[in-house]
Amino acid sequence: MFGLKEALWSYGSRTRPFRICRRNIAGEAPQTEGTFKWRKPIGQHTGISIYNHGMRQKVPLILRNPQMVTWYTCGPTVYDSAHLGHASTYVKVDILQRILRDYFKINLVTAMNITDVDDKIIKRAQLAGLDWQKMARAYEAEFRQDMLRLNVQPPDVRSHVTTTMPVIIQFIQQLIAEEQAYVTPDKSVYFDVSQSQNYGKLQKLDPSEEKSDSVKRSSADFALWKSRKSGSEPTWSAPWGGEGRPGWHIECSAIAGLFFGRQLDFHAGGLDLRFPHHENEEAQCCARYKTDQWVNYWLHTGQLHMVGDPQKMSKSLGNTITVSELLKKYTADEFRMACLLSNYRNAMPYSDQLMQTARQTLQRFKNFQADLSAYTQFLKPVHLMDEGALKAQLVHTVTEFDRCLRDDFDTPRAISVLMDQMSSISRCINEQQVDAHEEPAYCMDLLLAAGNFINRAVVSFGLSELVERESLQEKVSSYDHGIDPSLLVDDVLSIRGRMRENATSGDVKNLQLLAACDELRTLLQQHGIQVRDHKKGSSWVFAVSCEKPDDKSKSSAE
């Protein structure tokens, strides 16, 4: 595969063929050089296409069992705080899962591992003088809290490496029994890559670069089990002799296999895991379950990096921003919007400019909903509108939005479709009334239908509801004495409205009263309430941020 059909690998005194082409299955054409023949699942077509890295093209999403679709995500190695590189992966995965679950109504069953024993964990605990188990549990708790703060839905089930050790050992034993793995003199266990029928399906490989190894049969072989190196490290007894702990790749294979068995619909993780981690997972499970395709759909998210730094955000590089640091400056919705504006497969260049763009985009959605609410509450002049044009616009929006999500979850284009619909409606409800004798209706129902669709679309991405009045009690937790903050804001704006009306009712405007109205609006905005004045009253919406208002904002005196 990928330019070679066979390669010779040196195993000390003997030479064996390294098979890198998938065997020909009855009824299929032989695999050509440079390509991987993905096997299309048998089942229900969904009309959704997903990018396949092995084939370098999009393939149709076909569900083996439409009533239950399995999804496994590589979880964290809990030796430090989560940073934005981790956050972008899990937020993007959450967006994809929500689209499938909430928009396409697919019943996802999701699982994730927690790597709570690893070289990095042991080394970090030793340097800090901490108990490795307590440290891992503390960082896991922090990770879970960070994901909740980012509104990432938890998986249906999480499984720890330490609690599934018998399953991992059994998996390795089976590979040894099938001669897919071998035990070295120090009682470590390695996967024999030469026995893999289709190794290299996710990443182009050049076997000629591999060198012989004094311990392994080939340097391409990877560890399933690491023997004890020192007396202080955590180890488990192995039936093939000695003590040790599992390698990184076998953990996910054994845990995913425990829950989902011989075939998995979706497997997700960062693009940096495609090789060697996911490649090795696939090889292990294909060997264990005697299949040529364990995962039907691999989903890899692009890596986050700082603008101007081509390297990914990484603890080892020291260029990280923690989730807690992010949330001091921006909201979870703003970060999620930044992820939505970047295709999930693409690299995500992080900067304050990106986050400001996400903030402004989110505010446009909130302002649209506030304007629509003001219009339907008759705070704005009601217009006669072109019913046919509005119907056509709504059909176009629904159709194009659906087409975007079916095309490999193209969220940037889907957001653009929604914004075009909002701009069209905003022009209608904010324009000055003109002679409209031939226009047939006020079209309140169509406007509300469009608003409902946009709100549901936003929620399906995991963003907060655009209509926030009912949830204000939850957002302002400091009020716990039976006071409804939404009614309080309404009453304040009602009094302010009467002040504005009195200030402008005479021949001469009362500038002092109008200045007081402006001061009250500024005060509310400093507390996150954005006031929007209309000809027949005022409405309000939560501001995306609580920054000081723009000096260019329109005053009551204008």
**Beta carbons of 69 and 92 less than 8 angstroms apart:** no
Look at strands 243-246 and 295-301 and give their pairing. Answer: unpaired
pLDDT tens by residue, 11-47 = 233 333 333 333 333 333 334 444 467 899 999 999 9
In contact, 298 and 508? CB cutoff 8 Å? no
Highest mean pLDDT among 246-250, 463-467, 535-539: 246-250
- Find the range with the poorest average confidence among 124-138, 143-157, 364-378: 364-378
Q: What is the pTM of this model?
A: 0.80
398: which 2 tokens?
């629904």
Strands in 394-505 per DSSP E: none
- Stretch 415-439: mean pLDDT, rounded? 80
C-alpha distances in angstroms, 440 versus 327, 374, 388? 49, 22, 9
pLDDT at 353: 96
Q: How confident is the model at residue 545 (pLDDT cuts 50, 70, 90)?
A: low
Calculate the average pLDDT of the chain: 84
Residue range 183-226, pLDDT digits in tens: 999 999 999 999 998 898 888 766 555 555 678 998 899 999 99
Given pLDDT bands bounded at 50, 70 and 90, which one contains residue 6?
very low
The arithmetic mean of pLDDT across residues 397-419, rounded, is 98
Strand (E) or helix (H) holding 370? helix 352-376
Per-residue confidence (pLDDT) for residue 549, from 0 to 100:
41
Tens digit of each residue's pLDDT (9 = 90 or more) over 257-297: 999 999 999 999 999 999 999 999 999 999 999 999 999 99
pLDDT computed for residue 313 by the predictor: 79
Does pLDDT of 540 surpass 90?
A: no
- Say how far residue 195 (Cα) sits from the centre of its chain: 35
pLDDT of residue 502: 79
pLDDT of residue 500: 80
Query: Six-digit token pair at 305?
Result: 């990096």
Output the pLDDT for position 483: 56
DSSP state letter for 207: G
Q: Residue 440: what pLDDT? A: 55
- Using the CB atoms, write b or e for 336-375: b if 16+ within 10 Å: bbbbbbbbbeebbbbeeebbeebbebbbbbbbbbbbbbbb
pLDDT greater than 80 at residue 438 = no
Q: How far apart are CA 456 and CA 441, in angstroms?
A: 25
Q: How far apart, in whole angstroms, are the C-alpha atoms of residue 283 and residue 275? A: 11
In whole angstroms, give the CA distance from residue 468 to residue 530. Answer: 13
Question: What pLDDT is attached to residue 484?
Answer: 61
State the residue for tokens 């936003």.
Answer: 458
* Cα 268 from Cα 143, distance rounded (Å): 18
Query: Residue 127 contacts by C-beta under 8 Å, 6 or more apart in sequence?
Result: none
Q: For residue range 311-323, list pLDDT tens digits in order.
A: 777 766 677 899 9
